[in-house]
Structure 1
């Protein structure tokens, strides 16, 4: 296995991680921003107020995009195992 192959595998792995985590991180960011604006407008300084809405939003995204996330991870793992002999040679 060459250094270029290892770098390619690492790059593809990081890209899959970013791709499958982006929906959850994005919705968490949006919900946190909305709650922060609400707290600023109403002068509520409760730090734990954002926890439950973020949690519910992330669970909703997992329910809606879970099959896509699982398919992405499964296809990448299948690709890695399929090309295993090529990586050794």
Structure 2
């Protein structure tokens, strides 16, 4: 295994992590910004108002994008196992 192989594996691993967590993080940001706007407009500073909608939105997104996330992780695992099998 040389430096190019190691960099390729690290790049693929980082890309897999970003694509796997991207939908949940994106929805959390959008919902958080929306709730912050509502709190600023209404001046309601209830701490549970920020967490409960975010948790529900993230769970829904993970449930909907679960096959995509699993596919990304499976593809990464297959590439790694193929490289191990061929000896890099």
- Identify the TM-score tier after normalising by the shorter chain: over 0.9
Q: Which residue of 1 aligns with 2:51?
A: 51
Unaligned stretches of 5+ in structure 2?
none
TM-score, normalised to structure 1's length?
Answer: 0.91
Q: Which residue of 2 aligns with 1:16?
A: 16
* SS in structure 1 of the partner of residue 44 of structure 2: coil
Unaligned stretches of 5+ in structure 1?
none
* SS in structure 2 of the partner of residue 45 of structure 1: coil
Q: Which residue of 2 aligns with 1:70?
A: 70
- Alpha-carbon RMSD: 1.0
- Superposition misfits of 4+ residues, deviation over 3 angstroms: none
How far apart are residue 47 of structure 1 and its match? 3.2
How many residues align structurally?
A: 87
Q: Distance in 2 between matches of 1:22 and 1:53?
A: 18
Q: Distance in 2 between matches of 1:47 and 1:75?
A: 39
Q: Distance in 2 between matches of 1:25 and 1:51?
A: 14
